[in-house]
């Protein structure tokens, strides 16, 4: 973890290309990113502990007891977690009445993902004070990307399923900060991947999530140990965009990256099956989280 954090404290790297175009990004230093994150509230604080909760849920080493205690401290979050746990998304029929039972029936990783999805909007809302953020579209895209990345991971990379869902969910958090870095410059010229990676390093997230976020538009440039996760998030986001889950800063899709597909050893029919199931899965998750 130390090497990633030390690189995050140096000037941010530029990315040659965003998913939505070929324009080079402006290099923005880490201090500027963290200032913007603090101003927007994305770093959390005394009145909003959602970022701290989200950071804890991202820790793959957190215990079931710790997750239960964290969720139990927030009645609204507990209710949303139980609603998702009992939803069509997990094929349940209103049999889960407590967080402990959810952990027992669904498993720790599933409950971590549910809780992360349930508090994502609280993290983003505080920073999305401008219409350009398209908060609703961004959250819809994030949930679709998470759902797709998780489904892809289940095919041949099951050990990365939980990280694929959570990283897919969070991969565009940096966009909220990106919009505040330079109001005079077009926001698509600023590297939101690096913004996200710097924020996640400050949150003390696990190294795989930080690296996969930094490289989710160029997964084959990620260090080999993290390349599979970066590719899962990249393809999950691409499938989400191709399925119409777009937002202002990523309004269109591009063809799926053959190199990322090859990296994961996936077949065309497997990816097509994930894409075909995506609308129903996202609708089930949205209904469970928001009743709509």
Please state which of the four CATH numbers 3.30.930.10, 3.90.1170.50, 1.10.3210.10, 3.40.250.10 is assigned to the domain occupying 2-290: 1.10.3210.10
Q: What is the pLDDT of residues 210-265, one digit of tens each?
A: 999 999 999 999 999 999 999 999 999 999 999 999 988 888 888 899 999 999 99
Cα 201 to Cα 2, 93, 174, 198, distances in angstroms = 10, 39, 12, 5
Tokens representing 221?
A: 């440039």
Domain boundaries, the chain: 2-290
Query: What number of residues does the chain have?
Result: 292
Q: 23 Cβ partners below 8 Å, 6+ apart?
A: 17, 188, 189
pLDDT in tens, 62-108: 999 999 999 999 898 899 899 899 888 888 766 889 999 999 989 99
Residue that wins the pLDDT comparison between 184 and 96: 96
* Residue from 154, 66, 177, 157 nearest 115 by CA: 66
pTM (2 d.p.)? 0.84
Q: What is the mean pLDDT of residues 204-214?
A: 94
């Amino acid at each position: 973890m130390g090497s990633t954090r030390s690189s995050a404290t140096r000037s941010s790297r530029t990315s040659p290309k965003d998913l939505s175009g070929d324009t080079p990004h402006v290099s923005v230093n880490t201090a500027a990113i963290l200032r913007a994150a603090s101003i927007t509230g994305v770093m959390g604080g005394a009145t909003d502990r959602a970022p701290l909760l989200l950071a804890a849920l991202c820790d793959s080493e957190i215990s079931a007891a710790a997750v239960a205690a964290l969720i139990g401290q927030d009645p609204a979050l507990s209710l949303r977690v139980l609603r998702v746990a009992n939803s069509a998304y997990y094929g349940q029929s209103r049999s889960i009445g407590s967080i402990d039972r959810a952990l027992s029936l669904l498993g720790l990783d599933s409950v971590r993902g549910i809780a992360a999805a349930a508090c994502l909007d609280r993290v983003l809302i505080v920073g999305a004070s401008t219409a350009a953020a398209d908060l609703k579209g961004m959250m819809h895209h994030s949930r679709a990307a998470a759902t797709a990345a998780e489904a892809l991971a289940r095919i041949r990379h099951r050990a990365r399923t939980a990280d694929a869902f959570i990283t897919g969910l969070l991969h565009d958090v940096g966009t909220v900060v990106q919009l505040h870095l330079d109001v005079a410059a077009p926001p698509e010229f600023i590297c939101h991947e690096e913004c996200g990676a710097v924020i996640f390093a400050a949150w003390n997230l696990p190294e795989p999530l930080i690296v996969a976020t930094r490289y989710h538009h160029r997964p084959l440039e990620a260090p080999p140990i993290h390349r599979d996760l970066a590719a899962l998030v990249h393809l999950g986001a691409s499938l989400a965009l191709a399925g119409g889950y777009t937002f202002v800063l990523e309004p269109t899709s591009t063809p799926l990256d053959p190199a990322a597909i090859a990296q994961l050893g996936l077949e065309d029919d497997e990816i097509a099956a994930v894409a075909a199931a995506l609308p129903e899965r996202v609708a089930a998750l949205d209904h469970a989280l928001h009743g709509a």
